[in-house]
Amino acid sequence: MRVLLVANQFYPVVGGIENFLRAYAPALREGGHDVAVLTSRHALAHEPIDDYDGIPVFRSDLERALAARDITRVHQNRRWIEMVERDWAPDVVHAHDTGSQMWACLRIPGARQAPMIVTIQTSMPGMLDPASLPLASRLLEACEWVTGVSRAVLDEARRLAPDIRGHSSVIPNAVPIPAAPPVAPPATPRVLCLGRLVEQKGFDVAVAAVPRLIEQVPAATLTIAGDGEKRGDLAAMANAMDLTDRIDFVGVVPHDRVAALIDSASVVAMPSRYEGLPLVYLEAAIRERPVVGTAVHGLGEIIEHGRTGLLVPPEDPQALAEALGAVLRNPTLARSLGTGARDLVSREYSMTVCLDAYTELYRTVVGAGPRHAAD
Amino acid sequence: MNALRILDGHVTHERLDDEVLVINLETGAYYALGGVGADCWTLLSRQAPIDTTSDVLAERYRADRATVRAEVDALAAELVHEGLATWEEDPSIPADPLALLPGAIAPAYTPPRLEKYDDMEELLLLDPIHEVDDAGWPALPAEPA
């Protein structure tokens, strides 16, 4: 089967969707499918066509043309996307979240040749401007199938677009399970926050939790890995709270060094304000590191409190500090949460499970053909 | 009426190889004409009479003159209907209409077609999931040499 994966961003951009696709696309190819990626051009990847690990990557300039309000360039990019879909001739188009690339694929004049699946990767009300939600809902309804990476994000989407109820399901994100066994946690108590430094991730709540954490665990430190628009604010906050010797900003960490970064931590904090099904949880779990996360969307689903992690309310530095302190002061609890998480992820969130679910869905929608051929 | 005048006050147009893009600045809609349609627009936008336009296209594409004439008439009416052009009583007819067209032509005659795109507004509503600046944030840093 020929599968065109569509995402607004792809490698070398880092983020949950991008990292998932970097693992998923090669796994799909190894499963015997032809795979290509349609995404945006990028300052570090500005050629219209390149490849990732032998997988063709088509990069349109649609987003920048839109940002510049340049209708001529918008049109040229729409034509280019039409050409990609016509010439590469996928059997199925699989988009990840709504976005301009997906929009352009759906709006190709005349009948679409390939059915489209869209996977909702995160909370739509959390992610999108309220003014764009009606359009995003219409895009979901125009697809042959909609999947959500967690029950919570799919339920939100079904409330926004009730027509998708008959053609939608949950397929969680996944990670490859490495052969290398997890390593013992470090001797020094170290909390890790890993992800894009954006409002969604709530790393400001983790910074705010540090003083209370130090009261319980005097040697505790916080490492913040990632980059983004909130980096300056977070650094200023750490400075204002006189915590610069306790908080280390290490910037973006290449994906092949993430496992080592997690190994160097005692516990991973995920104080997110909303989430789909965060890859960071899965990556921490396979390294047997306990996670303290907020009870939001997919994070609240995957963490069974006391068994596969600890749950705290969002926006609550005190509760976060208490939970982190409980894990750092109790190695038995930490070990138990880590192994519980690893068992869960190995069983239900492996790339093999994910690949089987998607390929079965591809066969179903390809067999049924486009529902909206005249769209 | 035998010629058109483009409503330059609120219409801009540009020829991109074998396609013409026409933008109605009042409505925000834009239009594409490819192949024969692009040539047809190029001639009509320079006030070539419909008779002349039909003759030039029939000869250029070796197509039936009556068929071409009917389709040019239809396209001209559609351009007026869409508010892109108006009928011109006193056209300034180009001396050599054929010289207005580029050398390369489409492989075969197809009826000139006006494709309308009125979805720019909704496209602009679709915020990218990750805002990415010119430096490509949030990207991996360049590997050290």
Query: Could you read off the pLDDT of A21-46 as tens digits, one per residue?
Result: 999 999 999 999 999 999 999 877 88
Closest by alpha carbon to A269, among A294, A237, A240, A301?
A294
Q: Is the pLDDT of residue A231 over 90?
A: yes
Provide the b/e sequence for A333-360 (b: ≥16 CB within 10 Å).
ebebbbbbbbebbeeebbbebbbebbbe
Query: Could you read off the pLDDT of A124-155 as tens digits, one per residue?
Result: 888 888 888 888 898 999 999 999 999 999 99
| Percent above pLDDT 70 for chain A | 97
Catalogue all structural domains in chain A, each as residue range(s) with its CATH number.
2-174+351-368 (3.40.50.2000), 190-348 (3.40.50.2000)
Best B11, B126, B134 member to test A by mutation, with max A CBs in 10 Å, is: B126
Residue in chain B lying closest to A108 (CA): B117
Tokens of A146: 């909609």
Backbone angles phi, psi at A329, to 5 degrees: -90, -10
Of A101-105, A200-204, A249-253, A338-342, which range is least confident?
A: A101-105
Best B119, B130, B133, B137 member to test A by mutation, with max A CBs in 10 Å, is: B130
User: Measured between alpha carbons, how far is A22 from A13 in angstroms, rounded to an integer?
Assistant: 11
B83 and B7 in contact (C-beta within 8 Å)? yes
**DSSP structural state of residue A292:** E
For residues A318-330, give the mean pLDDT.
98
Q: A185 Cβ partners below 8 Å, 6+ apart?
A: A265, A266, A289, A331, A334
Tokens of B127: 């915020």
pLDDT of residue B127: 52
Average pLDDT, chain A: 92
Q: Is the pLDDT of residue A315 over 50?
A: yes
For residues A154-158, give the mean pLDDT.
95
Q: Give the N- to C-terminal CA distance of chain A in Å, as an integer.
A: 24
Chain B environment of A226 (Cβ under 8 Å): 138
A296 and A273 in contact (C-beta within 8 Å)? yes
C-beta atoms surrounding B57 within 10 Å: 24
| ipTM for the complex shown | 0.74
pLDDT of residue B135: 40
B104 and B29 in contact (C-beta within 8 Å)? no
Q: At what angle do helices A151-160 and A133-142 cross, to 10 degrees?
A: 100
Q: Is the pLDDT of residue A16 over 50?
A: yes
User: Measured between alpha carbons, how far is A89 from B136 in angstroms, rounded to an integer?
Assistant: 29
| Domain ranges, ordered by start, for chain B | 4-119
A74 and A52 in contact (C-beta within 8 Å)? no
For residues A186-202, give the mean pLDDT.
95
Chain A environment of B19 (Cβ under 8 Å): 79
User: Measured between alpha carbons, how far is B7 from B80 in angstroms, rounded to an integer?
Assistant: 9
Tokens of A35: 């795979």
Tokens of B137: 């944030």
Tokens of A103: 């929009």
- Residue A86 CB burial class (10 angstroms; 0-12, 13-18, ≥19): exposed
For residues A274-288, give the mean pLDDT.
94
| Percent above pLDDT 90 for chain A | 75
Chain A environment of B142 (Cβ under 8 Å): 44
Q: B21 Cβ partners below 8 Å, 6+ apart?
A: A71, A72, A75, B13, B14, B30, B31, B32
Query: Could you read off the pLDDT of A241-273 as tens digits, one per residue?
Result: 999 999 999 999 988 899 999 999 999 999 999
| Cβ distance of A71 and B30 shorter than 8 Å | yes
Q: Which pLDDT band, with edges at 50, 70 and 90, does A375 fall under?
A: very low
Taken in order A202, A204, A205, A210, the sign of the CA dihedral is positive
| Cβ distance of A100 and B128 shorter than 8 Å | yes
C-beta atoms surrounding A19 within 10 Å: 19
User: Measured between alpha carbons, how far is A52 from A147 in angstroms, rounded to an integer?
Assistant: 25
Dihedral (C-alpha) B76, B78, B81, B87: value to the nearest 10 degrees?
Answer: 0
Taken in order B99, B105, B106, B110, the sign of the CA dihedral is positive
Higher-pLDDT residue of A105 and A186 is A186
Runs of H (alpha helix) within chain A: 16-30, 62-67, 71-88, 100-106, 124-127, 133-142, 151-160, 203-216, 231-240, 258-263, 279-286, 297-302, 317-329, 331-348, 351-368
pLDDT in tens, chain B (145 residues): 589 999 988 899 999 878 999 998 888 889 999 999 999 999 999 999 999 999 999 999 999 999 999 999 999 999 999 999 999 988 888 888 888 888 876 678 999 999 999 887 777 776 544 444 444 434 444 444 3
Q: Does B123 touch chain A (CB under 8 A)?
A: yes
Task: Establish how many alpha carbons lie within 13 A of residue B21's alpha carbon, considering only the half-sphere containing its beta carbon.
Answer: 18
